[in-house]
Amino acid sequence: MKAPPSETATRDPLLRLAGINTFYGAVQVHFDVSIEIGAGRIVCLLGGNASGKSTAMKVILGLVRPRSGSIWFDGEPIHGVPTQEIIRRGIASVPEARRLFPAMTVRENLLMGAYARSDKRRVAEDQARVLDLFPRVGERLNQRAGTLSGGEQQMVAMARALMSRPRLICMDEPTMGLSPLFVDRVLDLISAINRQGTTVFMVEQNASLALQVAHHAYVLQTGRIVLEGPARALLHDARIREAYLGGEVAA
């Protein structure tokens, strides 16, 4: 492999994308993309507009099928597996623009994250566990999701994803459009979720923010991985600083 050895490469990754080529019609959006997400890590996929980040998330969830390449979760192939089954195996997603059900209450939205489960007592326990992490969501259980602020909606979307007890949570630009206060809160929550044992795959345009919480990152440029490494190293990488950080090292 061309990529330098990394800390995630030395152990069996929880999720592995290998040699992914994805097309929308005749247009190719991924060129031989390989990504490894080590168990217990926060791994970030950085890249500018239209580089193929959201599509990578959709490929993992089985919402977009690559033309070639393979996807492995916990050692099992998941390419070709239906999305519902992929979710059942332990992958949850917080999609772009949150995708809450705006007319439903916060409580109803949370329960949608547990829809595949029939054990009411366990679901109630999960709700209590998740609300412990998101007390602000707990204060708004009866409010319609569509009337929440952007930051609150992001928290409900993350809480909903955690209701399915995922082993891997995939988040598409979780800080997009949020005020600085909410950005900090959401980043803290991502770290907290990870400390509690959930592996995180995060797609971000904002490299300086993402590299603060991620362990490892990949950079996607027009469908190709052009850089990969530990987050700390990338934060100081001249190429990243020029392309994404305005030449300054983030605090």
Element (H, E) at 21: strand 13-24
**Per-residue x/- marks for Mg ion, 48-77, CB under 5 A?**
-----xx-----------------------
Q: Is 98 in the site for ligand ATP (CB under 6 A)?
A: no
* CA-atom Rg of the chain in angstroms: 18
* Contact call for residues 96 and 154 (beta carbons, < 8 A): no
Q: Is 22 in the site for Mg ion (CB under 5 A)?
A: no
Minimum distance from residue 171 beta carbon to ligand ATP (Å): 12
Question: Binding residues for Mg ion, how many (CB under 5 A)?
Answer: 2
Of the candidate spans 7-15, 50-58, 87-95, 235-243, the one that interacts with ligand ATP by CB under 6 A turns out to be 50-58
Q: Is 50 in the site for ligand ATP (CB under 6 A)?
A: yes
Residue 41 CA to residue 198 CA, distance in Å, equals 8
Residues contacting 242, CB < 8 A, separation 6+: none
Minimum distance from residue 71 beta carbon to ligand ATP (Å): 16
Tokens representing 204 are 């971000």
Amino acid making up residue 54? S
Of the candidate spans 46-54, 78-86, 117-125, 236-244, the one that interacts with ligand ATP by CB under 6 A turns out to be 46-54
Residue carrying structure tokens 């969501």 = 137
Q: Is 54 in the site for ligand ATP (CB under 6 A)?
A: yes
Backbone region of residue 32 per phi and psi (left: phi > 0; alpha: psi in -120 to 50; beta: other values): left
Neighbouring-strand partners of residue 240: none
Q: Is 49 in the site for ligand ATP (CB under 6 A)?
A: yes
- Identity of the residue, 53 or 215, whose beta carbon is nearer to Mg ion in the bound complex: 53
* Contact call for residues 3 and 228 (beta carbons, < 8 A): yes
Minimum distance from residue 54 beta carbon to ligand ATP (Å): 3
Which of 15, 29, 44, 225 is in the footprint of ligand ATP by CB under 6 A?
A: 29
In 10 A of CB 188, how many CB atoms? 11
Q: Is 97 in the site for ligand ATP (CB under 6 A)?
A: no
Q: Is 53 in the site for ligand ATP (CB under 6 A)?
A: yes
Reduced to 3 states (helix: H, G, I; strand: E, B; else coil), residue 155 is: helix
Q: Is 205 in the site for ligand ATP (CB under 6 A)?
A: yes
Residue 105 CA to residue 103 CA, distance in Å, equals 7
Given the rule CB under 5 A, which residues bind Mg ion?
Answer: 53-54
Given the rule CB under 6 A, which residues bind ligand ATP?
Answer: 24, 29, 47, 49-55, 205
